[in-house]
Structure 1
Amino acid sequence: MNPSDSLPPLRCISSMATRQLLTRLARQYRQATGIEVALESVGGVDAARRLAAGEAFDVAVLASDAVAGLVASGHLAAGSEAVVALSGLAAAVAEGRPAPRTDTLAQLLRLLGEAGAIGYSTGPSGKALLERLRQWGVLEALQPRLVQAPPGQPVAAMVARGEVDIGFQQLSEMVHSPGIALLAELPPEARIVTAFTAAACVPSPRSDEACAFIRYLCGAQAAEAKQEEGMSPAPVGS
């Protein structure tokens, strides 16, 4: 009998953007080590709130700014943080619609100006998108047509149901979604990359095991899964 079989699963909480990746890597980790990881993926805002309230987990994987705040408040262990993956912003329209050109900022702004409703997320990419719209001077004009997805609900689902004409969210949350067509790469001015960081939770009686799992998430053996799930490995030393 493997000693790890008698241990309860490591508890990991994450935002929805990394759900597919972590599900896959947790399965790989189980196969490699015999240690099971129980993953719960929710809206990033909800995950941070639950951790701040003291809910018991061993590992958290959230946007880097959220992790930094939870480290500062003592809910995640300082020194345990590691950037797991980078995720870029993507845009999509409903499957079957003509895919508009978005090579330049002018084309993107024209598309947004013509859209009836524009979906965006509650996560870091959604906040960053609103800031870009403000910088481009179009936020006020577009505000009545901006539709924010409820926490934990994919923007892609809103696009597929026809609730919005175009939707923006992490590529990792859109890449395998049915009923949508991803647009070509966004212009440089609209490229938004979010870093997702893992950290050990405080208090956790299994901090050593938590840190071992975090190292696995950042290792070379996880790179292929990151690429296939719409993310990329973090640069060495980040």
Structure 2
Amino acid sequence: MMQAPEATVAVTGISSMATRPMLARLAAAYERDTGTRVAITSVGGVDAAQRVREGEPFDVVVLASDAIERLAADGHVEPGSRVDVARSCIAVAVASGAPQPEIGTEAALREAILRAGPIGYSTGPSGTHLARLFARWGIADALAARIVQAPPGVPVGALIASGEVELGFQQMSELMHVPGVVIVGALPNVVQAVTVFAAAILAVAHDRMAAARFVSYLVSPEAAHIKREYGMEPA
């Protein structure tokens, strides 16, 4: 039996870690359906934006919408190509087998944080939100010695699983499916922050038509169920 030749890479992209597993599944499904291979590089969001600014030859970028807007303002994104792909909430997680605190209300969440040992969050949008929330609650100074901020590209879930932090916060999509980690739940609505992740075609794209077809697929009805499998909702 003759084996079909492997598809050549037709579209390359760069994204933050928050969308890595979702984009990997979407790229695989797109290749299965179209025969077009997509290769996505996922790194910390700050690093991803910097690599785009430095002109690395990617076709597509997927980042938080505010980061995409800044790249577009500086001319790194093809005008009019930005689309909102998915919405992601912040979740709370602990190590498997550890007691799960009550976090159903703002007061309960605040108390759980004050009672916890080391607390982990990321350098991404979720970490920025948590830092602002702690400041608003007036507990930032009390928590300072217990905060462990994951380096760019390192998932908070890995710090939870290793025992480095007791209570971790990150995008739901990044905490799901991490071995040794259990998601307690999402932040209560009153203190929740939903991040919209967007995609855009880069100004340095080598094949804008191929890139546009993949970006269109990312917002198609066919892609919706994969987004939900990874803790996100279609935008």
TM-score band, normalised by the shorter chain? Answer: over 0.9
Residue of structure 1 in register with 2:137 after alignment = 136
Q: Distance between the aligned counterparts of 1:81 and 1:194, measured in 2?
A: 15
Residue of structure 2 in register with 1:42 after alignment = 43
Aligned AA (1:199): A
Residue of structure 1 in register with 2:219 after alignment = 218
Closer, same or farther in 2 for the Cα pair 1:6/1:169, shift >3 Å? closer
TM-score (norm 1): 0.93
Residue deviations 1:155-184 (CA, integer Å, cap 9, x gap): 001001110110000000011111011113
Shift of 1:9: 2.8
**1:65-76 residue pairs with structure 2 within 5 A?**
65-76=66-77
Shift of 1:139: 1.6
Identical residues among aligned pairs (%): 49
3-state DSSP class of the match of 1:76? coil
Closer, same or farther in 2 for the Cα pair 1:6/1:146, shift >3 Å? closer
Shift of 1:64: 0.6
3-state DSSP class of the match of 1:51? helix
TM-score (norm 2): 0.95
Residue of structure 2 in register with 1:53 after alignment = 54
Q: Which of structure 1's runs of 4+ aligned residues deviate more than 6 A?
A: none
Preserved CA contact (<8 Å) 2:30 2:36: yes
Which structure 2 segments of 5+ residues have no match?
A: none
| Between 177-186 and 35-44, the greater mean CA deviation after superposition | 177-186
Closer, same or farther in 2 for the Cα pair 1:161/1:6, shift >3 Å? closer
Shift of 1:27: 0.7
Aligned AA (2:65): S
Aligned AA (1:30): E
Preserved CA contact (<8 Å) 2:90 2:186: no
Q: Distance between the aligned counterparts of 1:55 and 1:195, measured in 2?
A: 24
Q: Distance between the aligned counterparts of 1:119 and 1:30, measured in 2?
A: 36
Q: Distance between the aligned counterparts of 1:124 and 1:204, measured in 2?
A: 27
Residue of structure 2 in register with 1:9 after alignment = 10
Residue deviations 1:98-137 (CA, integer Å, cap 9, x gap): 1111111111111111112100001111111111211222
Preserved CA contact (<8 Å) 1:59 1:199: yes
Shift of 1:190: 2.4
Residue deviations 1:51-93 (CA, integer Å, cap 9, x gap): 0011110000001111111001111112000011011100101
3-state DSSP class of the match of 1:183? strand
Preserved CA contact (<8 Å) 1:23 1:39: yes
Q: Distance between the aligned counterparts of 2:33 and 2:76, measured in 1?
A: 29
Residue of structure 2 in register with 1:165 after alignment = 166
Preserved CA contact (<8 Å) 1:5 1:35: no
Closer, same or farther in 2 for the Cα pair 1:105/1:6, shift >3 Å? closer
Shift of 1:32: 1.2
Residue of structure 1 in register with 2:157 after alignment = 156
3-state DSSP class of the match of 2:46? helix
Shift of 1:5: 7.1
Residue deviations 1:171-214 (CA, integer Å, cap 9, x gap): 00011111011113322222111110000011213112111111
Q: Distance between the aligned counterparts of 1:155 and 1:231, measured in 2?
A: 18
Across the aligned residues of Structure 1 and Structure 2, the Cα RMSD in angstroms comes to 1.4
Q: Distance between the aligned counterparts of 1:154 and 1:232, measured in 2?
A: 20
